[in-house]
Amino acid sequence: MKRTIALGAAALLASTSLASAQEVLNLYNWGNYTSPELLERFTEETGIEVTVTDFDSNDTALARIRQGGHGFDIVVPSDSYIQTWIEEELFQPLDPEIVTDRDNIAPQWRDVDFDPGREYTVPWAWGTTGVIVDTSVYSGDINTAEVILDPPSELAGRINVIPEMSDVMALAIYYHGGERCTDDMDLLRQVRDTLMEAKPDWLALDYGAVDSYAAGDFAAGIYWNGASMRVRLQNDDFAYGYPQTGYPIWMDNAAVLADAENPENAMRFINFIIQPENAALISNFARYANGISGSEEFMDEEMRDAPEIVVPDELVEAGRFGQACPQEVNDIHTQIWTELLQ
Amino acid sequence: MFNRNFSVSRLPGFGAVAVFTFVMLYLPIIILVTFSFNAGVSQAQWEGFSLQWYQAAFQNDQVRDVSIRSLWLALAASGFATVLSTLAALGTTRVGRFPGQTMIYALINQPLMVPEIVTGVALLILVAFLKVQTGYTGMGYLVAAHTAFCIPFAYLPIRARLETMDITLEKAAADLYADHWQAFRYITLPLLVPGILAGFMLGFVISLDTVVITEFVKSAGQDTLPTYMLGQLRRTITPEMNAIATLFLALSLCIVTAFFVITRKRGT
Amino acid sequence: MAEARERHGWKWLLCTPALIVLVAAASGPLMIVVAYSFLTPGNMGGVEWDFTLEAWFRVFFRRDIFDPDAITLNQAHLGVFGRSVLLSLQTTLLCAVLGFPTAWFIATRPPSSRTLWLFLITIPFWTNLLIRTFAIQEVIRNNGTINAVLTGLGVIDSPLQMMYTDFAILLGMAYVFLPLMVLPLYAAMDKLDFRLVEAGYDLYASRVQVLWHVILPLVKPGFIAGSILVFIPSIGAYVTPRVLGGGRTMMLGNLIALQFGQGRNWPLGAALAMLMLIIVVGALIFYLRWANREEARNV
């Protein structure tokens, strides 16, 4: 026992004193989202050692950073949360001296609603939220949210819905013809009723590892495009649909924290990931597009023409960019969502 | 001694249930180990033997770091918790009632009674405040948080052991003019070892499992294996995790074997 | 009084190190949560420092989103409470039914191999909770082991839906918490005086009588410890219901986590947590009283 304690204490000392010798950078990102190759290349180029720490939800990340004393330099939250981060002054503006290549950002991502003029953030990855269907089980039209919100009998009881409020609420609101941040109470009531009526037909409200689809636990679901692609690569019965009534487009964005300990290294990293050849590494790893012009040529072959990544022309229009809703609207959405989850 | 008379300790059906329990306990583990050698990505379909996930796990710095961090954090936390719990158990068991005893019980068992998420949020607020005030952001917070969480788990088996322990030997020692320390060192402690061992092992596995608290307390670069996996949950758990889990199992087997070799040697 | 303090001083002294850690890293921070349950939810999580009883109100009652005057009993919350208590009781029972014979089996092995068996119980737990839960998923999923075996034997035609049900949660929790039952039971049995068992048989007691009147009372401390160790973590379990229950059927731990996460209502989460704490402490006091009374009756 005594030896155990000594060992523990020694390890404790070792781990606290090791870090400070070298130039470092602390990245706070979604789990399994950061390409190791990307970090290696960055270290090679700059000599800066990157440590990645994971978060599992936007809410955890926000709560953690708000409280301070975290030691992180860069965080990668989703578009619908960015406004809160900026309003609470948790980010610092990007340094134009170091982040010189913001023009690499694809035009449609340059002046986004959640961060006008890209003053604080750059794209990490973006994707769509649509439906995934096992076409060997159901052969009807899959470009509709109906397969989930009012499912055919073949799919009922075999559906999984990702437990992400902004994605699911958006799909349901579009399904009823509303705007993302609608405060039309009649419409919202319909949205709630639709969701509550559909819920008994859902088997799970889970992130549902890619495996669960491939192994046949689920026959359909609301899912992200990149994850759906991974499913198809394992089981080609699965296809990804873009609901015609509207589907959300989301984006995760990298930003430098206001209380970053290594702001300069962080700015260098930001400029690094908006280089096309580096952004492509992010995409190849995570299977999502990245929003940087010219990165396509560095991407894996199977990414370039994947039906999950390249939106069919006739359905491009239906995609809606993320939008941060006013607090009072958000409150109503949250209430509907928690009612649904209970 | 009593085992010579087999029928005394034999209860019909108990052996069968025990065997069933062991089978159920190991069935998922066998599957997990098997699929760590799978050539494909799938965790459900066997696609041939391969060591690629082990290779991937070894090459992945993050996986290696979080595994090692988890191990020593569990060692440190359950080590501290076992020592503290043993002391507390000696202070509260077989000593008759004394003022404040109920409060001590309540405090010791409190971490058990609150879901991890609540302790996690509470600690987030407190620890973040301390980190800002003191500037110290090291692993100390995690060790303290894990220790506190392990104490009730370590305490209960030690206390259960003490309660069922025969005290005539200690009385005999006192009769032979052994002082408190000697009686403790040569009589109580050796008898207490199974309880302490159970407490330590419980604490160890509990610390390995503690995920929500760690998620909220950790600072930059302090991911443990469970928080690393929690982060993956939203996307996909890679078979590397099966490989890591298998390595943890192998490590536990090594420790068990070493333990047996040592005790055998001492025994002969 | 001073003499009493003198006499009891060493007991306190032995407990002090543990108490310091506990107060600093568990009970103390908990006071923050108590305070939070009386505050107003902040924007996107967190709290505003305005006193209100709204969170406690919302634990029990619900206002319709579209008709704020329609106040009904919050059946969703009560349902989650009911399910959590029920599932935790079932888990404890299942652990006891499997754990008691297993601990007995271990305790009656020759002393040299007992530790080996004990280690066998804990080895699976060297992998972490998430990994183990995913491993269970492989066993019970639609084309998992159990379904494959049953289909292979011709017992069933189409796979049994076990994943994402309460049964899956029960099975998963029993699996995860089993050693918490076996280890304390073993610790108590290991010191069992088998002469008493022998005496029981000498008096022509049947095996059932010996089990019920001799063995059970003797290993009771271990049993009490085990059931507390299983029941309480079960009721606040988060990971197992999330993975195996699929998020559709929630348990208390998930409901509370939801409020601190996507629900963004920290005060409500804090109030739910407090209520759960009150229930658990109440149950514990009731249980220990009952156990002590039983003991008194048996002696």
Domain assignment of residue C28, yes or no: no
Q: Let me know if residue C11 belongs to a domain.
A: no
Q: Is residue C267 part of a domain?
A: yes
Q: What is the pLDDT of residue B117?
A: 77
Q: Which residue has the tokens 């304390």?
A: C184
Least confident of A121-125, A240-244, B99-103, B261-265: B261-265
Do residues A167 and A232 share a domain? Answer: yes
The number of domains in chain C is 1
Q: Least CB-CB distance to B126: which of C17, C29, C104?
A: C29
Whether the per-residue pLDDT at C143 is higher than 60: the answer is yes
Give the helix, strand, coil percentages of chain B, each rounded to 5. Answer: 75, 0, 20
Rounded mean pLDDT, A72-82: 94
Beta-carbon contacts of B140 under 8 Å, excluding residues fewer than 6 positions away, are A12
Contact criterion met (CB < 8 Å) for B208 and C236? no
**pLDDT, tens digit, for every residue of B35-59?**
899 888 776 678 889 999 999 888 8
Phi, then psi, of A253 in degrees rounded to 5:
-125, 140
Cα separations in angstroms, A79 against A232, A259, A297, B152: 27, 21, 26, 42
Q: Are B161 and B192 in contact (CB under 8 A)?
A: yes
Q: Which residues of B touch C143 (CB under 8 A)?
A: 44
Lowest mean pLDDT among A20-24, A83-87, C100-104, C109-113: A20-24
- Please tell me the distance in Å from C175's CA to the nearest CA on chain A: 21
State the DSSP string of A285-298.
HH-SB--BTT-GGG
Chain A residue numbers touching B127 (CB-CB < 8 A)? 69
C163 touching A, CB under 8 A? yes
Burial class, B169, CB count within 10 angstroms (exposed 0-12 / middle 13-18 / buried 19+): middle
A249 HSE (CA, 13 A, CB side) = 22
**Together in a domain, A43 and A112:** yes
B121:C141 CB<8 A: no
List, as ranges, residues 51-70 from C with C-beta within 8 Å of A.
65-66
The three-point CA angle A238-A240-A242 to 5° equals 155
Give the Cα separation of A163 and C262 in Å (integer). Answer: 9
Q: What pLDDT is recorded for position B44?
A: 67
Count of H-run helices and E-run strands, chain B = 13, 0
Q: Has residue A104 been placed in a domain?
A: yes
Are residues A231 and A334 both part of a single domain? yes
Question: Where residue A328 sits, what CATH number does that domain have?
Answer: 3.40.190.10
With a cut of 70, say whether residue B239 has pLDDT above it: yes
Would you say residue A295 has pLDDT above 90? yes
Q: Which secondary structure element, helix H or strand E, spans residue B36, and what is its range? A: helix B14-36
Question: Is it the case that residue B2 has pLDDT exceeding 50?
Answer: no
Q: Does C255 touch chain A (CB under 8 A)?
A: yes
- Please, are residues A162 and A210 in contact by the beta-carbon 8 Å criterion? no
Residue C47 in domain: no
Closest CB to B221 among A51, A57, A60: A51
Query: Per-domain residue ranges for chain B?
Result: 62-267
| Domain contains C15 | no
Cα(C226)–Cα(B45) distance, rounded to whole angstroms? 38
> What is the mean pLDDT of the segment spanning C64-83?
86
Domain annotation covers residue A311: no
Is the pLDDT score of A1 beyond 70? Answer: no
Nearest-angstrom CA–CA distance, A76 and A125: 10
| Chains touching A, CB cut-off 8 Å, 3+ pairs | B, C
Q: Are residues A323 and A177 in the same domain?
A: yes
Q: Whose structure tokens read 């399904």?
A: A175
Alpha helices in A79-217 (DSSP H): 79-87, 146-149, 165-175, 185-198, 210-214
* Chain A residues touching residue C262 (CB < 8 angstroms): 57, 59, 163-165, 334, 337-338, 341
Partner-chain residue, chosen from A217, A335, A336, that has the shortest CB–CB distance to C142? A217
Please report the ipTM that was assigned to this predicted complex: 0.84
Q: Are residues A106 and A38 in the same domain?
A: yes
Q: pLDDT band for A13, please (50, 70, 90 cuts).
A: very low
Contact indicator for C101, C162 with CB cutoff of 8 Å: no
* B 50-79 residues with CB < 8 A to A: 59-62, 69, 72, 75-77, 79
Q: Say how many domains are in chain A.
A: 2
- Nearest chain C residue to B242 by CA distance is C131
What is the extent of the structural domain holding C221? 54-61+72-298
Beta bridge partners of residue A223, listed in sequence order: A130
Q: C205 in a domain, yes or no? A: yes
Give chain C positions within 8 Å (CB) of B107: 19, 22-23, 27
Nearest-by-CA chain C residue for A158: C161
Task: Give a yes or no: residue A94 inside a domain.
Answer: yes
Query: Does the CB of A42 have a partner CB in chain B at under 8 Å?
Result: no
Q: How is residue A65 written in tokens?
A: 């950073």
- What long-range pairs does A135-144 form, CB within 8 A, spacing at least 24? A135/A237, A135/A238, A135/A239, A136/A237, A137/A219, A137/A220, A137/A237, A138/A219, A138/A220, A141/A241, A142/A239, A142/A240, A142/A241, A143/A241, A143/A242, A143/A243, A143/A244, A143/A315, A144/A241, A144/A243, A144/A244, A144/A245
Nearest to C135 among B28, B84, B256 (CB): B28
Q: Is residue C151 part of a domain?
A: yes
Confidence of residue A19 (pLDDT cuts 50, 70, 90): very low
Contact C276 B208 (CB under 8 A): no
Could you tell me if residue A5 is inside a domain? no
Q: How does DSSP classify residue B49?
A: B
The answer on pLDDT for A122 being more than 70 is: yes
* C-alpha to C-alpha distance for A145 and A243, rounded to whole angstroms: 5
Does residue A218 sit within a domain? Answer: yes
**Residue holding tokens 């158990």?**
B89
Nearest 5°: the CA angle B196, B202, B203 is 90
| pLDDT tens-digit readout, B143-155 | 999 999 999 989 9
Nearest CA in chain C to B83: C18
Q: Is residue C202 part of a domain?
A: yes
* Chain C residue at shortest CA distance from B102: C285
Same domain, A117 and A256: yes
Please indicate whether, in this complex, the C-beta atoms of C207 and B98 are within 8 angstroms of each other.
no
Contact A341 C247 (CB under 8 A): yes
| pLDDT above 50 for A175 | yes
* Mean per-residue pLDDT, C258-273: 88
State chain A's mean pLDDT as an integer: 89
Report d(CA B56, CA B35) in Å as an integer.
14
Instruction: Report CA Rg, chain C.
Output: 24
Which residues of chain A does C76 touch, with a Cβ-Cβ cutoff of 8 Å?
339, 342
Over 60: is that where the pLDDT of C174 sits?
Answer: yes
How many residue pairs bridge chain A and chain B with CB atoms within 8 Å of each other?
146
Q: What is the CATH number of the domain that holds C257?
A: 1.10.3720.10
A264: left (phi over 0), alpha (psi -120 to 50) or beta: alpha
Q: What proportions of chain A, in percent to the nearest 5, are helix, strand and coil?
A: 45, 20, 35
Structural domain boundaries enclosing A69: 22-126+251-304
How far apart are the C-alpha atoms of C252 and C45, rounded to whole Å? 19
| Nearest CB partner across the interface for A163, out of C43, C44, C247 | C247
Which residue in A has a C-alpha nearest to residue C159's C-alpha?
Answer: A217
Highest mean pLDDT of the ranges A84-98, B130-144, C10-24, C203-217: A84-98
* Model confidence at A18: pLDDT above 60: no
Distance CA C255, CA A342 (A): 7
Q: Above 50 in pLDDT, residue C199?
A: yes
- Give the three-class secondary structure for A22: coil
Please give the structure tokens belonging to residue C274: 């407090």
Q: Which CATH superfamily is domain B62-267 in?
A: MetI-like (1.10.3720.10)
